[in-house]
Amino acid sequence: MKIALGADHGGYELKEKIKQHLAKKEGIEVIDFGTNSTESVDYPKYGHLVAKSVVDKEVDFGILVCGTGIGISIAANKIKGIRAANCTNTTMAKLTRQHNDANILALGARIVGDVLALDIVDEFLSASFEGGRHQKRVEQIEKETCNLF
Ligand code: RB5
């Protein structure tokens, strides 16, 4: 499994911890799109770089980290085909894979502790999309309209 990582300065330290955590696992290859220090940067760039890597199928999933997980997930979700979910607990991580087929996990380094963040990563990467009734809803997201209006 290939994973793209990206973060702004607020998420840099947690991104590094996630990278070390994933390095201990067999069969996971990481592409790190930065940033590479706590020097202030703008999160949209990193959201877009990871999102592009996912839609180009260079990787299977992306993981993005900023201070809250909000800005970087909003940026990633601007890229067509991206379903980035900002998760603050393991249940959200499992359900967003099972129901939304989320292809990017976003985390807020100032919101969740490191141990919880790594558990959220593990849950996200081990859960699978259930398809079925959720399939058409994911397709509706991609079409941008639900033909309801
Ligand atoms: C950066 O200070 C902060 O605004 C950013 O990491 C993120 O929380 C934005 O949503």
Domains of the chain, by residue range, sit at 2-142
Rounded Cα–Cα distance for residues 59 and 143 (Å):
23
Helix, strand, or coil (residue 52):
helix
pLDDT at 145: 63
132 is in an annotated binding site: no
Q: Ligand 1 within 6 A of 6 CB? A: no
Question: Is there a catalytic annotation at residue 87?
Answer: no
pLDDT of 149 higher than 60:
no
Nearest atom of ligand 1 to the alpha carbon of 72: 10
48 is in an annotated binding site: no
Question: Is there a catalytic annotation at residue 146?
Answer: no
139: number of Cβ within 10 Å: 10
pLDDT confidence of 148, banded at 50, 70, 90?
low
**Prior bond to 35 cis, omega within 30?**
yes
Contact indicator for 105, 133 with CB cutoff of 8 Å: no
> Which residue's alpha carbon is at the smallest distance from atom 3 of ligand 1?
67
Q: What is the pLDDT of residues 46-75, one digit of tens each?
A: 999 999 999 999 999 999 999 999 999 999
Q: What kind of architecture, by CATH, is found in domain 2-142?
A: 3-Layer(aba) Sandwich (3.40)
